[in-house]
Structure 1
Amino acid sequence: MIATETTAVRAARTTGAASMPDASTEAATSTATDASTGRIPSSFAGPLAELADAGLEIPVLGGATVRHVNLDVAASAPALSSVAAHVARLLPYYSSVHRGSGYPSQATTALVEDARVAVARHLGARDGDLVVFTRNTTEALNLLATAVPGETVVLDIEHHANLLPWRDRRVVVARPSIAETLAALEAELAARPAALLSVTGASNVTGEVLPIAELARIAHAHGARIAVDAAQLLPHRRVDLAASDLDYVAFSGHKAYAPFGSGALVGRADWLDAATPFLAGGGAVEHVGLDDVSWKTGADRHEAGTPNVVGVAALARALAELERLGDAEREAHEAQLTARLHDGLDALPGVRVIRGFDDAHDRLAIATIELEHGSVGLVAAALGAEHGISVRAGRFCAHPFFDRISTRSNGLRASLGAGSSVDDVDRFLEALAKLVADGPAFEYSRTPGGWCPVTDDRPWPVID
């Protein structure tokens, strides 16, 4: 695991500058666990973590106000309250990074480099692995795509972020079961070698979790490396490069309760050190002449320009808070909500839950449905406008997968997380049942931007 410090980090820690914005002594919201199992008791029904949008009251059509229910966490999760507070504390010290001689600059540099160490530790990085900060998973995978010295094999279930970047790619269509899909991937790699196998850790459409350690074994057995798109998986489950023998992991802060615009690519250095710098500019160079340039190696090579200091610090703090909540506690909390959500949906007439594999027993707190009759876009609009419940309708940037497993043109996705509760699930199921049975209570029109109320009397917030 990476455990190095820059001179600026050591200097700032010595003076105490790096610790000023730190919130390591804060207690995150938690729940007592069963001593025998380490899991949350089955009676637990509330949120596991406090989010910045907790208790948010929003207007609905007709003049009423209700508590907002956020079931669009898979797209972007709200900030953890502790992350928002951490950002507020660091802003007075925000300054230039690297080479700045001032106290705030050294403190800011320490925050960024400490965050790099923290991300490496959380992801189980090996000695020599790089942590390259990016905007999000999409940018991280696009960066990796510039470095792959050969073909990449992917599944058709991938988010567009893990389907489109690869310059030379082969797509394997997933089979009805995970077991058959693993066999198909192994046969593909055995028949025709590839440099990289890049797979999602969990589907953003169905929430089904793939066995990434087994996928790593298959890739390595046939001379390929493996990259995991952990955008959906990491906010729900611990991802460990060394333990699962992964070569690269890409993820986004905005899905992991740190929506401040940062993500990361973590993994082996050699391909990245040999690749053309992802961005050409200051910070990525050793020397620049009018006719020549000498590029750095390591993370600096691909991080030209001023980094997103706030996003990087928020990302590291969010990962620390997820650790504080506990892996077993998070998994148990979401398992309870997932079971309640799927049981409720399976009992609703005219509603079908979309699944990709018939043997997927492990899934995140995500459910995508299609309707026997009616428009999921209209239902999603009415859930938000009439019931204060945020969901998502569409094909979720996974068009090939969705088109293969669904009988409709669009689906409706509900997704939960550490801030969700049983009451959130029940409100959604009750509102969905009413809309499916009776339709919306107000009139809507279909516009280029989607379904909208014909008359919208909701006041919009003034955010100064």
Structure 2
Amino acid sequence: MPTAVLDRPVAPAGESPLLPLVGADTTVPLVTGASVRYADLDSAASTRALAAVADRVAEVLPLYASVHRGAGYLSQVSTALYESAREAVAGFVGARADDVCVLTRNTTDALNLLAGAVPAGASVLVLDGEHHADLLPWQRRGPATVLPVRATVTATLRALADALSRGRYALLAVTGASNVTGEALPLAEVVALAHAAGTRVAVDGAQLVPHRRFSLAATAADWVAFSGHKLYAPFGAGALVGRRDWLDAAPAHLAGGGAVTEVAVDDVVWAPAPHRHEGGSPNVLGAVALAEACAALAALPAGALERHERALRARLVDGLAALPGVRVLRIWADSAEPTGVVSFTVDGADPGLVAAFLSAEHGIGVRDGRFCAHPLLARLGVPEGALRASVGVGTTAADVDRLLAALAAHLATGPQVAYARRDGRWQPADDPRPLAGPSAPARAAACGGPR
């Protein structure tokens, strides 16, 4: 009988990167003169590119040409790449057969597009815990009702049901996962409440789609918007996927070539969606990159992404809880499992100064401030801002441990160099690190040195 081959032991979740990223081993200089591997704990803001995405872009770049109207062979190839990318992106979020996928720049672009498609005079309902990208378009469009979140998920759902029963809203805009805490309302339940009141639902999926499997068909949501730069495809593309009717009837998001079928001096016949809202030359490489990222995440074993982030989030939250004076922010006491986004405060410490210390003295990247969610930060009692660490497919337990050790050092001894505010940001008072890439020192020397 053949000798049995034992399976290789599987590393515990979070110990190794889930997928390889471009630049995962990049080293950065410290103010001390040393260099360390960069610990990127700011994926909620923007992610690095998956290695597979960069490889795919390099493969497609020699084939790039104009799309949709070119007779040349490469133009036909580029058109096929662009339209197949559209299909892949729609499939990744469980689009229904009659849904449409408009390729945009990012989530902000997608939600502004949708805001322009809501029928004139119709009211929109939105919660005050949203990212500005899912708050400002509705406020500017008007009329919009901003509903305060409550202390628990249960109470928030009750308030939402009450608001929907008392008002006539065409649309409810809701986040799929908070960019501040990673928490979310149960989407299927939210959609059911809204649809029972005759209200459609748009999901801000920027912090959801990269971290959890999502399906328009399964949740019955009407639209979802998301960004490639948060989905390991930072090549300038995003998407709005969902119902066609409002998009076919809306004014073109950007008037120009490609959005029309016929133009006369005194008349225009606009194309139906998606092309109606994709005026100008489209971002073919961005679309291809986004589709490749979607394919890579979809190919992960079921539950692998959730296990990876769950392990890292638990390690981070437990470690922060053990540090004196550190408070982890939460919106709801009864929320279900959040994504890998954790915001926190350090008693008596300016968040911007702590973030500068982590970068300059430890080579760790986190976010500080109010995270484009000013009303939510005020509601959480930290209108001045907080710190945010976020994990993704390239994050490891070692990255989390480095952050916890650096925070412990800050609490024990404080910064080891002087810091000063410059243009509203904390920086080392005497910072020798180049900030414009590897060639910066040479350019500075040629210009007579830094000034």
Q: Which residue matches 1:455?
A: 430
| 1:246-325 paired onto structure 2 within 5 Å | 246-325=221-300
Q: Which residue matches 1:381?
A: 356
Equivalent pairs counted in the alignment come to 428
CA gap 1:288/1:171 in 2 versus in 1, 3 angstroms: same
Give 1:449 deviation, angstroms.
3.8
Q: Which residue matches 1:78?
A: 48
Give 1:362 deviation, angstroms.
1.1
Residue among 216, 222, 225 paired with 1:241:
216
| 1:28-107 paired onto structure 2 within 5 Å | 42=12, 45-107=15-77
Question: Matched residue of 2:214: which SS?
Answer: coil
Q: Which residue matches 1:165?
A: 137
Kept after mapping to 1: 8 A contact 2:14/2:309 = no
Q: Which residue matches 1:131?
A: 101
Give 1:44 deviation, angstroms.
5.3
Give 1:33 deviation, angstroms.
10
Amino acid at match of 1:156: D
Give 1:336 deviation, angstroms.
0.4
Give 1:395 deviation, angstroms.
0.3
Tell me, in whole angstroms, the C-alpha distance in 1 between the residues paired with 2:324 and 2:167: 46
Amino acid at match of 1:186: A
Establish whether residue 437 from structure 1 lines up as the match of residue 412 from structure 2. Answer: yes
Give 1:209 deviation, angstroms.
2.5
Kept after mapping to 1: 8 A contact 2:13/2:307 = no
Kept after mapping to 2: 8 A contact 1:370/1:408 = no
Q: Which residue matches 1:359?
A: 334
Kept after mapping to 1: 8 A contact 2:374/2:383 = no
Give 1:210 deviation, angstroms.
2.2
Kept after mapping to 2: 8 A contact 1:370/1:406 = no
Q: Which runs of 5+ in 1 are unaligned?
A: 1-31, 35-39
Write out per-residue CA displacement over residues 37-59 of structure 1, whole angstroms, 9 at most, x where no aligned residue.
Answer: xxx76465111110002111111
Give 1:66 deviation, angstroms.
0.3
Establish whether residue 328 from structure 1 lines up as the match of residue 303 from structure 2. Answer: yes
Write out per-residue CA displacement over residues 343-400 of structure 1, whole angstroms, 9 at most, x where no aligned residue.
Answer: 0011110111111101013101111111211211101001011100000110000000
TM-score under structure 1 length normalisation: 0.90
Write out per-residue CA displacement over residues 200-225 of structure 1, whole angstroms, 9 at most, x where no aligned residue.
Answer: 00000011122111111011010000
| 1:128-277 paired onto structure 2 within 5 Å | 128-149=98-119, 150-166=122-138, 167=141, 168-277=143-252
Amino acid at match of 1:221: A
Kept after mapping to 2: 8 A contact 1:389/1:428 = yes
Kept after mapping to 2: 8 A contact 1:134/1:262 = yes
Tell me, in whole angstroms, the C-alpha distance in 1 between the residues paired with 2:409 and 2:336: 30
CA gap 1:369/1:226 in 2 versus in 1, 3 angstroms: same
Identity of aligned residues (%): 54
Q: Which runs of 5+ in 2 are unaligned?
A: 1-6, 441-451
CA gap 1:154/1:439 in 2 versus in 1, 3 angstroms: same
Tell me, in whole angstroms, the C-alpha distance in 2 between the residues paired with 1:454 and 1:269: 54
Give 1:87 deviation, angstroms.
0.6
Q: Which residue matches 1:13?
A: none
Question: Matched residue of 1:325: which SS?
Answer: coil
Establish whether residue 368 from structure 1 lines up as the match of residue 343 from structure 2. Answer: yes
Tell me, in whole angstroms, the C-alpha distance in 1 between the residues paired with 2:298 and 2:130: 27
Runs in 1 of length 4+ with deviation above 6 angstroms? none
Tell me, in whole angstroms, the C-alpha distance in 2 between the residues paired with 1:233 and 1:437: 36
TM-score under structure 2 length normalisation: 0.93
Give 1:239 deviation, angstroms.
1.1
